[in-house]
Structure 1
Amino acid sequence: MTRLLLIRHGEVEGIDPPIFRGRMDLPLTRRGVLQAQATAEHLAGRTALGTVYCSPLSRCVRTADILCERFQTAAITHPELNDISYGAWSGLSINQVRAKWPEELMVWLTSPQLTRIPGGESLQELAARVAEALAGVLRKHLHGTLVLVTHDSVIRVLLCHALGLPLSSYWTLSPSPCGITRLAYVDQHFTLDSFNETQQLTDL
């Protein structure tokens, strides 16, 4: 059996109020660092971490490094765990996107699986590369605990893939900064053990 921990990176500017961040390389805020530290302490003594993979963006690398410091290991960056590409929407607020692409934004917010973001990725493209990345790391690690430190978009499509949900379920899943989601992988099947654990962040 392989246990899989999906951890979203800590807080960055642009989550609240939201902008389309995507591939923008934003650093963790001070609160984001504290979230990562609290998550590392929460896992210590409860979970024996194996290999840690992370998105190449600095917010994920920093979160993974903080986790790895506690467990005396090192993270491996994986390019296919990168955030969705928002193309022409990158760095814009919802209102800014609505002013220029009102119809496309409405489809994104209601039927994201039907959206082609101008100059960016579709959910199908994101899901395909994430599924391939997941299959690759599972082939390398047939036992133990794997950790993927990545983005909310990646966690959403990964869970849709693992649990057999359609991509139309994308918005029903909302991982929090440094939320922990646990999956078990046995005999080529996934089971969800917990979704978006955040009790370690209560005092922040």
Structure 2
Amino acid sequence: MIVYITRHGQIDPTVEGEREHYPLTPLGRIQATKLGHRLRELGFNGLIYTSPFHRCLETTEIICRILNAKFYPEKLLREVGFAWYAHYRGLTVAEIAAKYPSCSADARLPWPWWPLTTETDEQVIKRVLPLAERLRQETRDVLLVGHGGTTDAMFYHLAGRHVLRGHSNASLSAIRLRPEVPKVEVLLEADTAHLGKGEVTHNMNVVA
């Protein structure tokens, strides 16, 4: 099976509104759309797990509409914990389903699911380990939609090393796992071939 890993589309953290409820920018929606088409071209027809933060849910909803797929919110893919989350209120699974029609009817999500304390990079790597171990038992292909920290942490666990450049918005990694073969195969690493000039970003920073 193949695990695909992507980061949410571009957001603009300077817009007014509650912190961490940022929507995708117009470019972020273009990035998500192009990623969805690329996944369709790759023949993806597997399970989709996403962070429950809005930017990931919006990215995933766009992808699911292209693939005619459903998604599951996964708390282990949430953003790195910072102090300001003490005042944050995330969506319940019922609220997610009402806002994002591609949420699977059998989705479950513990609440509160957001981080309540500050996390280090090492703690994030440890936090996502149970998800990585669970995926090793999966037979279907899987798409993970997360944040910079959690996508890099999942790549670390599944590929056995750190991603070289980090995941830019809507970049795509792909790792083939075979239960009978200890060594994994990295098929794609933070790849952006589906994005055009000026569309490769780390949020508001255009990198290519």
Query: Does TM-score exceed 0.5, indicating one fold?
Result: yes
Identity of aligned residues (%): 20
1:48 equivalent in structure 2: 44
Tell me how far 1:43 sits from its aligned partner: 2.0
Which of 16, 23, 26 pairs up with 1:27? 23
Letter in 1 for 2:6: I
**Contact 2:3–2:177 (CA<8 Å) still a contact in 1?**
yes
Relative distance call for 1:89 and 1:53 in structure 2 (3 A) is closer
Equivalences, count: 162
Q: Deviations over 1:132-161 (max 9, x none)?
A: 12222443x22x310001111111122222
Residue 184 of structure 2 corresponds to residue 184 of structure 1: no
Distance 2:170 2:82 in 1: 22
Residue 162 of structure 2 corresponds to residue 163 of structure 1: no
2:126 equivalent in structure 1: 128
Which of 179, 191, 200 pairs up with 1:197? 191
**Residue aligned with 2:72, SS:** strand
Distance 2:178 2:166 in 1: 25
Distance 1:89 1:61 in 2: 18
Residue 62 of structure 2 corresponds to residue 66 of structure 1: yes
**Residue aligned with 2:134, SS:** helix
- What is the 5 A alignment of 1:13-24? 13-14=12-13, 24=20
Tell me how far 1:24 sits from its aligned partner: 2.0
**Residue aligned with 2:41, SS:** coil
Letter in 2 for 1:191: E
What's the TM-score once normalised by structure 2's chain length? 0.70
Distance 1:180 1:125 in 2: 24
Tell me how far 1:89 sits from its aligned partner: 10
1:39 equivalent in structure 2: 35
Residue 49 of structure 2 corresponds to residue 11 of structure 1: no
1:57 equivalent in structure 2: 53
Tell me how far 1:39 sits from its aligned partner: 1.1
Distance 2:20 2:3 in 1: 26
**Residue aligned with 1:181, SS:** strand
Higher RCO (C-alpha under 8 Å, 6+ residues apart): 1
Tell me how far 1:189 sits from its aligned partner: 4.2
CA RMSD of aligned residues (A): 2.3
**Contact 1:8–1:176 (CA<8 Å) still a contact in 2?**
yes
What's the TM-score once normalised by structure 1's chain length? 0.71
**Contact 2:51–2:57 (CA<8 Å) still a contact in 1?**
yes
In structure 2, list runs of 5 or more residues that go unmatched: 87-116, 200-208
**Contact 1:6–1:181 (CA<8 Å) still a contact in 2?**
yes
Letter in 2 for 1:153: G
Which of 61, 82, 86 pairs up with 2:82? 86
